[in-house]
Structure 1
Amino acid sequence: MSDIARSSGDHGRLRAVAALSAHYGVSGILTPYLPVWLAASGLAADAVGWTMAAGFALRAVCILGFGMVATLLLPAGSLAAGAAVSAALVLVAAALIADPGTVGLLSVLAVGLVYGSIPLIESFANTVTLRSGHGYGRMRAWGSFAFLIGNVGMGALLVLPDGAALLPYIAAGLLLCLCVSVLGPTWQPPTPRLDPRASAAALAVAAPLLVPALLLQASHAFYYSFGTIWWIDHGVAKGSTGIVWGAAVAAEIVVYRYFARRLEKIPPATLIAVCCLVAIGRWLLLATDPPLPLIIVSQFGHAMTFGGAYLAAQTVIRTQIRPELHYMAQAGYAFLTTFVGLAGTTAAIPWALRVTGADPWLLMAAIAAAALVWLGLARFARPAP
């Protein structure tokens, strides 16, 4: 059977699974351990924070730019492949140069290149779902499983002398796998077109649901940027950090693999509200400086605080926005989530901690509570039928 026949037979499902797995495998290494590598490379704590914030900002710009380029100029697969190879080269160059300032700058560039492709990959997975009925959640579960392997594997390597120094090389290898998985037939949704006004209007219609989802993701900023360092500073062994991260992703996999179809039948507003409540409880538990077993228990909440909320946002985009606008809608939502939610919150964390003196987890709980308040206000502001 030819490659074309296989591709049409599964409507691109295998390629979508391969791309999701490769991308989230890289993310499973960079998300928890990039700050650790930066610190090991000689960057001070404030410099690590600003580097992570700058990475989120460039990631947002690349997300929006890649969405436009994929719609107007280049096949999405070729664009994602080129970005993956470029990111691999940048990471290896940073490791070889080894100057702290250069490592920070090149890390920002690598983050932008790695994550800029995610709307393209997610759009393709959603297109497969629309065309074939293959469940999005089951495909996404493979990405979460790869993320888990990255968490646990890289965490185990930290116990080795200079184990953190292996990060750029392992990530580069996975990026080359991503390059291979996305090459091939063009990944365009039906009649894609660049229509910023139509895309913005579509996102505006979905705003009552997407804004609280954005705020909920923003409440993860301290967790993503400083979580691993915080755990190590509070007594968690370096080799156990992968288990801590892995517990969260294992719970996420269960949701995507076994409960995605059921959760997609719940009204998105209700699902996001439940996710907000779980997030508030999760961050409040971490604010008590719990022992390792309770930290792991808190990680199970990730199944809803990220997995459930992300599933709700993808369902809203897939069902409420026209397919030809999916690239731009995905890019627009991801841009806002990354730039406003993660970059803005990460940059504001040091300032907020100095001004308020509050525990960082309490600040994250407050953001999740704001998402819940938004949902309530949107419900009361909705005109009667």
Structure 2
Amino acid sequence: MPSLTSLFPLTSQRRQAIFYALTYAGTGASLPFMPLWLKTHGMTAGEIGIILASPLLLRAVTGPVSGLWADGFRLYRTPLVWLACCGALFYALMAAGGLLPAVRFPLYLMLYTLAFSCMTSLAPLNDAMTLQLARQDRFTYAVPRAVGSSSFIVTNIVLGFLLVIWPTDLILVWLVVAAILTALGGRYLLAGLVRPGHASVGTAGTGLERLNVLMRDEGFLWLLAAIGCLQASHSFYYAFSTIIWKERGLSSATCGYLWAVGVVAEVAFMGLGEGIRRRMGPWRMLVIAGVLAVTRWGLMAFSPPLWALYPLQCLHAMSFAATYLAGLELVQRLTPKGYESLGQTINAAYANGVMMGMGTIASGAIYTVFAAKGYGVMAGVAVLGLGSALWLYSQRMRLMAAMV
């Protein structure tokens, strides 16, 4: 009888896909359900907002620090295993909050910030590793990343169903178990993967000197501006779309369908759109994503009818997924060899941390003043990102023309 490994060999792409599934099983529980856990454990709405926003804003520091730290290891898996183990420990310690009600808020704030920072630092490090392996072993990076997004969706559905019959403490148990499984997955799935250029990293100077290498790169900074603005333009959508749709009379089920359409479009583009992505290339893909982001938010500002919301939700495949994928590849191209993890963690810290956190905080005031017209403000933010992407693209074309 053939063995399981002969029927389903663990290729490099499959190993990365499994590891993505493990890491996003934790994120899929934390983002939607942690506010519920905090509420049932005595936190007010204001305290919940502070707890959730703190690790996002601190990614300006934790992102580069984790990247500098990770670049010092010879094996890819070492920092990933340590981060997952620390994330599991900090999440588990949050259970002690019930024993210390007098200091519950600062305790939750500290532990959640540490745990969430550890677990979200896994993503850019994993991205840098997977991009390198995709080139080395000739597989499509976006496929294992799409598995991660699928795992996020499945976690939302499964945990949402389980919370109907189980208490909210299941959320914390899920997060701890997911972090432990991520650590085990890193230990056994990623064995022997050596970071390329590791020898040169050790002679590249101190952490601040290596950080300055990237911060002095004008192209890298323009790229951060483009990705950061395009991703931050989603902050109003994430924070207030459901509220706006329900105010228009749409049911909760319809709102859920609209969210699902966007995520399915994202996963489909990542998993099945390799031919399209290859024809566009990362430079043009970033520009096209910017154009469609401006289009999406500009049209949403006019409160389109329900039938038009579905195709606009499909544009999530470009406004988010295409921006994300193009950004990853361009960061990989623009950073020196041995700096890939640092470049990806700075990108993630800025685009999905600081910029998204600032956009989320500003969204409250924008909604208060403009209501649904607030999407127009996000269209303006996307215009800034598109302008930065166009400048980068023109510089790239000029350089290629000069080489000819």
TM-score by length of 1: 0.82
The alpha-carbon distance between structure 1 residues 225 and 370, as it changes in their structure 2 partners (threshold 3 A), is same
Whether contact under 8 Å (1:53, 1:343) holds in the other structure is: yes
Write the distance in 1 (CA, Å) between the matches of 2:340 and 2:91.
Answer: 30
Write the distance in 2 (CA, Å) between the matches of 1:295 and 1:88.
Answer: 39
Q: Does 1:259 align with 2:273?
A: yes
The alpha-carbon distance between structure 1 residues 377 and 135, as it changes in their structure 2 partners (threshold 3 A), is closer
Within 5 Å, which residues of 2 pair with 1:85-100?
85-95=85-95, 97-98=97-98
* Counterpart in the other structure of 1:350: 364
The alpha-carbon distance between structure 1 residues 172 and 247, as it changes in their structure 2 partners (threshold 3 A), is farther
* Counterpart in the other structure of 2:155: 150
Unmatched runs of 5 consecutive residues or more in structure 1:
none
Q: Does 1:368 align with 2:373?
A: no
2:141 is matched with which residue: 130, 136, 141?
A: 136
* Counterpart in the other structure of 2:197: 191
Whether contact under 8 Å (1:80, 1:117) holds in the other structure is: yes
Whether contact under 8 Å (1:84, 1:114) holds in the other structure is: yes
Write the distance in 1 (CA, Å) between the matches of 2:115 and 2:234.
Answer: 21
Whether contact under 8 Å (1:251, 1:300) holds in the other structure is: yes
Q: Does 1:336 align with 2:341?
A: no
Amino acid at match of 2:364: P
Indicate the percent of aligned positions where both proteins have the same amino acid. Answer: 23
Between the two proteins, the alignment pairs up a number of residues equal to 377
**Could you give the per-residue CA deviations for residues 230-271 of structure 1, whole angstroms, max 9, x where no partner exists?**
667776766776654433222112111111343143143432
The alpha-carbon distance between structure 1 residues 237 and 183, as it changes in their structure 2 partners (threshold 3 A), is farther
Write the distance in 1 (CA, Å) between the matches of 2:108 and 2:88.
Answer: 14
Q: Does 1:321 align with 2:335?
A: yes
The alpha-carbon distance between structure 1 residues 249 and 358, as it changes in their structure 2 partners (threshold 3 A), is closer
Amino acid at match of 1:274: I
Once the two structures are TM-superposed, the CA of residue 54 in structure 1 deviates from its matched residue by 1.1
Whether contact under 8 Å (1:155, 1:238) holds in the other structure is: no
Whether contact under 8 Å (1:37, 1:164) holds in the other structure is: yes
Whether contact under 8 Å (1:22, 1:174) holds in the other structure is: yes
Amino acid at match of 1:15: R
The alpha-carbon distance between structure 1 residues 116 and 311, as it changes in their structure 2 partners (threshold 3 A), is same
The alpha-carbon distance between structure 1 residues 12 and 375, as it changes in their structure 2 partners (threshold 3 A), is closer
The alpha-carbon distance between structure 1 residues 105 and 134, as it changes in their structure 2 partners (threshold 3 A), is same
The alpha-carbon distance between structure 1 residues 95 and 364, as it changes in their structure 2 partners (threshold 3 A), is farther
The alpha-carbon distance between structure 1 residues 269 and 353, as it changes in their structure 2 partners (threshold 3 A), is same
Alignment partner of 1:341: what SS?
helix
Of 350-359 and 73-82, deviating more is 350-359
Once the two structures are TM-superposed, the CA of residue 328 in structure 1 deviates from its matched residue by 1.5
The alpha-carbon distance between structure 1 residues 246 and 157, as it changes in their structure 2 partners (threshold 3 A), is farther
Within 5 Å, which residues of 2 pair with 1:104-115?
104-115=109-120
Of 294-303 and 110-119, deviating more is 294-303
* Counterpart in the other structure of 2:186: 182
Once the two structures are TM-superposed, the CA of residue 361 in structure 1 deviates from its matched residue by 3.1
Write the distance in 1 (CA, Å) between the matches of 2:169 and 2:242.
Answer: 16
Once the two structures are TM-superposed, the CA of residue 308 in structure 1 deviates from its matched residue by 0.6
Whether contact under 8 Å (1:282, 1:298) holds in the other structure is: yes
Whether contact under 8 Å (1:155, 1:241) holds in the other structure is: no
Whether contact under 8 Å (1:31, 1:225) holds in the other structure is: no
Within 5 Å, which residues of 2 pair with 1:1-385?
12-73=12-73, 75-95=75-95, 97-98=97-98, 101=105, 102-157=107-162, 160=164, 165-184=169-188, 185=191, 187-192=193-198, 193=201, 195-201=210-216, 204-225=218-239, 243-284=257-298, 286-287=300-301, 297-353=311-367, 359-376=373-390, 385=402
Whether contact under 8 Å (2:71, 2:339) holds in the other structure is: no
Once the two structures are TM-superposed, the CA of residue 83 in structure 1 deviates from its matched residue by 2.0
Amino acid at match of 1:349: S
Alignment partner of 2:382: what SS?
helix
Amino acid at match of 1:61: V
Whether contact under 8 Å (2:76, 2:195) holds in the other structure is: no
**Could you give the per-residue CA deviations for residues 193-245 of structure 1, whole angstroms, max 9, x where no partner exists?**
1533433355x324444421221111122344565676677767667766544
The alpha-carbon distance between structure 1 residues 348 and 187, as it changes in their structure 2 partners (threshold 3 A), is farther
TM-score by length of 2: 0.78
Once the two structures are TM-superposed, the CA of residue 111 in structure 1 deviates from its matched residue by 1.5
Write the distance in 2 (CA, Å) between the matches of 1:200 and 1:76.
Answer: 24
Whether contact under 8 Å (1:218, 1:367) holds in the other structure is: yes
Once the two structures are TM-superposed, the CA of residue 63 in structure 1 deviates from its matched residue by 2.4
Amino acid at match of 1:282: R
Whether contact under 8 Å (1:84, 1:179) holds in the other structure is: yes
The alpha-carbon distance between structure 1 residues 148 and 299, as it changes in their structure 2 partners (threshold 3 A), is farther
Q: Kindly report the root-mean-square deviation, in angstroms, between the aligned alpha carbons of the 2 structures.
A: 3.5
**Could you give the per-residue CA deviations for residues 56-99 of structure 1, whole angstroms, max 9, x where no partner exists?**
12344332222111122574423222222332333344355256
